Chain A
Amino acid sequence: MKRFRRHGTESQRDRLKQELFQFTKTVEHGFPHQPSALGYSSSLQLMAIGTRSGAIKLYGAPGVEFMGLHDENAAVTQVFFMPHQVELVTLLDDNSLHMWTLRSHKGLSELLEIGRFLLTGPPGAPPSVTRVTAVLTHSSGELLLLGTEGGHVFIVEVPGFRELEEMNISLDQITSCVPDDYIGRRNLEHVEALQENPVNSNQVAIGYGRGLMVIWDLDHRLAIRHIPATQQLESMWWKEDGSCILSSHSDGSYCCWTLRTGEEREEEEKTNVPYGHFPCKAISKIVQLPTAGGPPFLLFSGGMPRASYGDRHCITVIYSKTQVAFDFTSRIIDFFVTRDGPQHTGEPSALVVLVEEELVVIDLQTEGWPVIQTPYLVPLHSSAITCSHHVSAIPLKLWERIIAAGVVQNTQYSKKPWPITGGQNLAPDPPQRDLLLTGHEDGTVRFWDASGVCLYPLYKLSTAAVFNADADLNDNMSQGAEGEWPPFRKVGCFDPYSDDPRLGIQKIHLCKYSGYLTVAGTAGQILMLELNDEAAEQTVEAKIVDLLQGQEGFRWKGHTQLDVREEPVLFPPGFQPFTVVQCQPPAVVTALNLHSEWKLVAFGTSHGFSVYDYLQKNNVLVKCTLNPSDQLAMEGPLSRVKSIKKSLRQSFRRIRRSRVSLRKHHISNTNKVIQEANARLEAELAEMELAPVQRKIEARSSDDSFTGLVRTLYFADTFLSDSSHNTPSLWAGTNGGTVFAYILYIPPAEHRADEALTAQPAKEIQLMHRAPVVGIVVLDGHGAPLPEPLETAHDLARSPDLLGSHHVLVISEEQFKVFTLPKLSSKMKLKLTAVDGSRVRRAGLAWFGSNRTEDYGESGLVFLTNQGDVHVLSLPHIKMQIRYPCIRREDVSGIASCVFTKQGQGFYLMSPSEFERFSLSTRYLVEPRCLVEAPLPPVFSNQHQPKLEGASSALRYIAARRVMEHALLNDESKSLR
């Protein structure tokens, strides 16, 4: 835009910038936050999930994903695919209906909203008359039946949302055909369920909240029969052969009503309370599916005995003599069953359950009904994510070994392929193998395949086994005793409760060339792990490092250090710990770095930093950075302060969530009053937060708290002592704006194991602005960042230029500064905070390739500010290149969770369970590219003939109306002319 105003080199640079940089949010990985609705199209083989924030996500075969967002910020309460079409309808909390379609564009499908509709009742009618509580997408694909709170059923023609007023089924019409003795007793209440007769699409069953079910003939517009159930209705299911209707009720019972032709009244076949005797909770949904030549599958959710198991979230599956109550980890949103066969009308194959925190798929065709591992929608937050680390371009060998280690762990999963197979994934194969490692609160590190659109779990490492943790690891796995009733079986992996918060992982560093991994945790523990393809029983060597170095007057008030197990522990194949270093005091590890070539690991806490030689297993360097007057850091409440803040935040969230999760569509007047009160309360809360806050303006001083907290550690082979000899060095940056540089003496390889290593302090920089140092990078003679350890040894990077003079770039939260080496005179700087008030939160190096010229590319420094903007700085001249808003600035945890890849992509947690992936590069983009084709019209067998007829009669009606309207319009237009 601006390039027309500029000339010469400027515009050339601008053009180059356009070739190099481009900001796009590409994919959302993980599990949608607060899902609220589930829909499934058996013909498209697509699943749709709606969320409370108004997002709608479609998933098919792995890699096939679509995402849409309603303009209204209202929860999606129901999602329905139009039968045999690529359209779907969503119902939002604000009573609006939306029509979406998958439109093909340049060979790729995209999800588009094509219409919206708000049901309008007669003038003066109360809002409950048009408040939609039940939706039926008619199999003709042209009609939508909307049951409302007032008990009416409105019929709408789609697409286009044209109300067919003549076809509406009013409450009066229903009451007139139901015997007075039933009507007289009670109000029918809202429409709870609508079901179409699977063999005669002209017949729909209308279920009212009070229990009455009416079968209505759409063609003749009259009630055929009624089923006078007396219990509060929860759901209905019309059996596939049309012979009977199942109804489930709020008292935990279900009934089967046989529809015999010619009989006056339907008899209740049998009432069944599956977990009976004592009062039970409602069965919220019931499904019965036939099998070829066998007993049918009966599946229902809920129905548990209220007193003893009322808090369980269960789906019971009954087949023949087998009955299992699958016990889920969180509230059940909805479920469906996939079926075999070319038309997907055959044998039930898998049960897909959406619960609040994860998606669970159960294989119904394999003995024992095992769980099928999901290739997407994996709950990242099965234990809260505490940190993440991205490693690009993993060597194939390491990749295969990690996968092999993961396969061993996943033996309990079903071998069946993923049952949802809609769409084609047209995305090219990812150019390289990328790993995303997430550290969790429970001490696990999860390895994810982050190369493509699906963030696929590869391997899970648990560090808890190294320590004497109080909790029994098999606690979660313990199954109920034989013969327990109900026959529970726990499924799902969401387990947010950490037994010991000290186990939480804070920092991760993986060397992709050597397979060494180091992880550091909340209680000052640093584990060194090595990839081993065999299980091994070994004792983990523990070493304590005193970071205080005799500092006096110290009293640590934080948590105690973890007990390391002294006996040998059997470690499964995968990453196995061989050394654990424990910081004393056991404060949370705030910086970690690994140099696998020198076999050194550096770590820091709020008290100091240390370098540990993991070959010789001793300390090379310990440095205390603590200011003696800094009581706050000494006593170590950092983690506590944080956790209190976090827990407060979470409890607020919980309150809010519980408010929202009041039963979705049963909004009576009292509920509305409560909601309004809640809204007021929330507004007040928001006001309170905005109430006159004031900020102190004071220069930072050396006496501030946590100035000694180590923020970054960096290994570099550079010129620290003089300009002719490069030496290994360690750099450390603190919260108080101090940079320490040490010269490391590392013996030659042949004496590496026996000769002593030493570290000598060489330089110290105190930045005058005293802002926290968040990154240190040494740039070689060409101005390029030094390669990673072992990178040149593996011929994967150009060896650094050791002839020209090196520079060190110090990244503080407030500015970027380049110093010459070895003199450390200031060469360049770029102020950030002084200019726009934003501060650096995350920084990383990336390489950007041009999308025009194959061989052109440049290194850049990518950083994210506390305002949520991402910037790219050129290297080595530290000039601002581009800036894009990326994360809302209020989203503090999102900003804190951001990681950058070496290819200019990034990940951040957009919710506790989802990573948003973004890209700043024009060349490297990982985004879904997929195609969904409209399904072929269903081939009807003779058995289905009546359905077609029924539908066609409805269609005829529509067609007639169309003609009439057309005529009317013509008349009008003529008169207008």
Chain B
Amino acid sequence: MNKNHRVPSSRSLSAVEVKSKFGAEFRRFSLDRSKPGRFDEFYGLLQHVHRIPNVELLVAYADVHGDLLPINNDDNYLKAVKSANPLLRLFLQRKEEADYTTFGTDSLTRKKNTVLSAVLLRPDPNKKKPPVIISLPKDFRPVSSIIDVDILPETHRRVRLYKHGQEKPLGFYIRDGSSVRVTPQGLEKVPGIFISRLVPGGLAESTGLLAVNDEVLEVNGIEVVGKSLDQVTDMMIANSHNLIITVKPANQRNNVVRGGGVGGGAASGSSSDSGASYHGYLPHGAAATAGPTHIIQNFSVGELESDEDDEDVVIEVGGEAETIRRTPSNYSMPSLPRYEPHLNLRTATAANSGSAFSINANGNLRGSGGSSGSLTNTNASSTTPSPDRAKERRNLEEEGTVITL
């Protein structure tokens, strides 16, 4: 279906040559660099050109450094297309054939989670090459992380969900329940809040860090003891942009096992599941004895209280807006925005009210100076902002003077 408009032999400079390898077979085709489309379309196209319509695939590409990187979502797909110069080399693999045992991970849990496994895919698992770090974490948008492993009891898990800038819903439900606590008087049944359901495809499910019947102990560092279900719901929603929940997993077998002599600090890596940077691969034997390896990350307290929701959007309307213009950067306004319906309405009203003001087309982005907002730092440190956010920003810029607070 996509063939008609994707494969035509437009040999212009804007085209990306694609060379795709599946097993022993190669396919060549091209993509329009400016309109790469979405990942699922691309995935369908690959299945089509290889004539393997019902085969589950793992897609990977070789980047400029020769590293093999996965393609499994819109973001890394866009990045792959962007970085292809001029050739985009793809390596396809049957999902069920992918061999993970060499990575020294729990293959069963890995298999369930395609995101994780895809991230760790390497060109040829049979080659006994030393493990390479396949990418920098900043090239990826974090989805979730386990944090504060060193300070929490082993039975607890603190999970951070990065909703910000994501299309994916958080996707879980909570319920009332009762749990048993140990008190000096003996065992005591106390009311608690539990995860009751995970929405398939939601953020919570895709992380694999939360499960049904996990007891929720804290929301962004605040204990939920004594709070009603509605209160906890409201707390979670209020923190939804940067939700950190501490749970007591129903399944306690996958807990982090801390190295005895090393202490908590040693276990702290800075990695996330999609960030995919292992802090060094363990030797296979060690992995087998150490049990499941876990991705762990520590955050400072400041980051726990990160104020990403502070980014209220203020839109200046009308000619007087010039007074606050800071940067001379000018953007044209080529089209009406697609993502902010209320902006649409605003222009409509403006037209109706008859006052002939012009929508100021000045873009202005600036970080909030004083606050310890982690987002500002993230932005500053990341040389290449994620395409998603860049897109979002462009949208606002199209509309008029924008101040991001």
Binding site for B on A (CB under 8 A): 549-550, 621-629, 690, 692-700, 702, 721-722, 738, 743, 758-769, 771, 814-815, 817, 819, 822-826, 829, 831, 833-839, 866-867, 889
Chain A residues with CB below 8 A from B236, complex form: 697
With A627-B342, A697-B170, A826-B310 as contacts: A761 and B222 at CB distance below 8 Å = no
Q: Is B368 an interface residue (CB 8 A)?
A: yes
Contact yes or no, B237 A698, CB < 8 A: yes
Q: Verify A837–B235 contact, CB threshold 8 A.
A: yes
Q: With the chains together, A222 CA to B318 CA distance in Å?
A: 99
Offer 28 A-B interface pairs, CB within 8 angstroms, sorted by A: A550-B352, A622-B352, A627-B342, A692-B175, A692-B196, A695-B230, A697-B240, A697-B243, A698-B170, A699-B240, A758-B353, A760-B357, A761-B317, A763-B316, A764-B314, A764-B342, A765-B313, A765-B315, A768-B241, A768-B311, A826-B405, A833-B235, A834-B238, A834-B239, A837-B224, A837-B227, A838-B231, A866-B230
User: Within 8 Å CB of A825, what residues of B?
Assistant: 314, 403, 405
Could you say which of B222, B224, B233, B357 has the most chain A C-beta atoms within 10 Å of its C-beta? B233
Pick the contact of A694 from B175, B222, B235, B348 — CB < 8 Å?
B175
Q: Which residues of B contact A835 (CB under 8 A)?
A: 222, 235
Task: Tell me which of A699, A759, A824 contacts B314 (CB under 8 A).
Answer: A824
B231 to chain A, nearest CB (A): 3
Interface residues in B198-249 (C-beta closer than 8 Å to A): 204, 220, 222, 224, 227-241, 243
Cα A126 to Cα B318 with chains together (Å): 85
User: Is B173 at the interface (CB under 8 A from chain A)?
Assistant: yes
Known: A698-B237, A815-B238. 9 other contacts (CB 8 A): A694-B173, A697-B172, A699-B237, A721-B323, A762-B318, A765-B314, A769-B238, A835-B222, A866-B230
Which of B169, B170, B204, B317 meets A762, CB within 8 Å? B317
- The answer, yes or no, to whether B294 is at the interface (CB within 8 Å) is no
Partner of A823, one of B176, B234, B324, B353: B324
Q: Which one of B171, B176, B234 contacts A839 once the chains associate, using CB atoms below 8 Å?
A: B234
| Docked-complex contact A769 and B175, CB < 8 angstroms | no
Contact of B234 with A768 in the complex, beta carbons under 8 Å = no
Docked complex Cα distance between A743 and B368 (Å): 27
User: A761 vs B321: C-alpha distance in the bound complex, in angstroms?
Assistant: 11
Kindly identify which residue among B173, B315, B323, B353 contacts A696, using a CB–CB cutoff of 8 Å. B173
Whether a CB of chain A sits under 8 angstroms from the CB of B73 is no
Residue of B234, B308, B313, B341 touching A838 (CB-CB under 8 A): B234
B residues 227-280 in Cβ contact with A at 8 Å = 227-241, 243
* In the complex, chain A residues whose CB is within 8 Å of the CB of B238: 769, 771, 814-815, 831, 833-834, 837
List residues 325-383 of chain B with CB under 8 A from any CB of chain A. Answer: 340-342, 345-346, 348-350, 352-353, 355, 357, 368
Give the most central of B235, B239, B311, B353: most A CB within 10 Å. Answer: B353
With a cutoff of 8 Å between Cβ atoms, the chain B residues found around residue A695 in the complex are 173-175, 229-230, 232-233
Give B332 Cβ to nearest chain A Cβ, in Å: 21
Assuming A699-B170, A721-B320, A771-B238, is B349 touching A549 (CB within 8 A)? yes
Q: Which residue of A lies closest to B307 (CB)?
A: A829
Report A888 CB to chain B, min CB distance, Å.
Answer: 12
Does B309 count as interface, using CB distance less than 8 angstroms?
A: yes
Of chain A, the residue at the smallest CB distance from B239 is A834
Given A695-B229, A764-B317, A826-B368; A836-B174 close (CB under 8 Å)? no
Question: Are the CB atoms of B173 and A764 closer together than 8 Å?
Answer: no
Decide yes or no: A764 and B405 within 8 Å by CB, A628-B341, A834-B238, A837-B231 being known contacts. no
Partner of A764, one of B163, B169, B196, B346: B346
B197–A764 contact, CB under 8 A? no
Which residues of the partner chain B approach A829 to less than 8 Å between Cβ atoms? 310
How many Å lie between the Cα of A866 and that of B309 in the bound state? Answer: 22
Q: CA of A626 to CA of B311 in the docked complex: distance in angstroms?
A: 23
Q: Which residues of A contact B241 (CB under 8 A)?
A: 699, 768-769
Q: Compute how far the CA of A399 lies from the CA of B314 in the bound complex, rounded to whole angstroms.
A: 44
- With contacts A692-B176, A738-B342, A838-B234 known, is A699 near B368, CB below 8 A? no
Decide: A700 and B174 in contact? CB cutoff 8 A.
no
Q: Is the CB of B173 within 8 A of A766?
A: no
Chain B neighbourhood of A815, CB < 8 A: 238
Chain A residues in 8 Å Cβ range of B403: 823-825
Interchain residue pairs A-B with the least CB separation, the first 4: A837-B231, A699-B240, A833-B238, A695-B233
B312: Cβ under 8 A from any A Cβ: yes
Q: How far is the CB of A822 from chain B (nearest CB, A)?
A: 8
Which chain A residue has the least Cβ–Cβ distance from B348? Answer: A549
CA distance A190 to B308 in the complex (A): 73
Residues of A within 8 A of B227 (CB): 836-837
A764 and B163 alpha carbons, distance in the complex (Å)? 24
- Kindly state the separation between the CA atoms of A722 and B323 in the bound complex, as whole angstroms: 7
Complex alpha-carbon distance, A113 and B323, angstroms: 70
Tell me the bound Cα distance from A822 to B351 in angstroms: 24
Contact A763 B314 (CB under 8 A): yes
CB proximity of B79 to chain A, nearest CB, Å = 25
Task: Using A700-B237, A836-B231 as known contacts, say yes or no to A694 and B196 having CB atoms under 8 A apart.
Answer: yes
How far, in whole Å, are A628 and B316 apart by their CA atoms in the complex? 23
| CB atoms of A761 and B350 under 8 A apart | yes
Best-surrounded residue of A690, A697, A722, A766 (most CB of chain B within 10 A): A697
A547 to B164 CA separation, bound complex (whole angstroms): 33
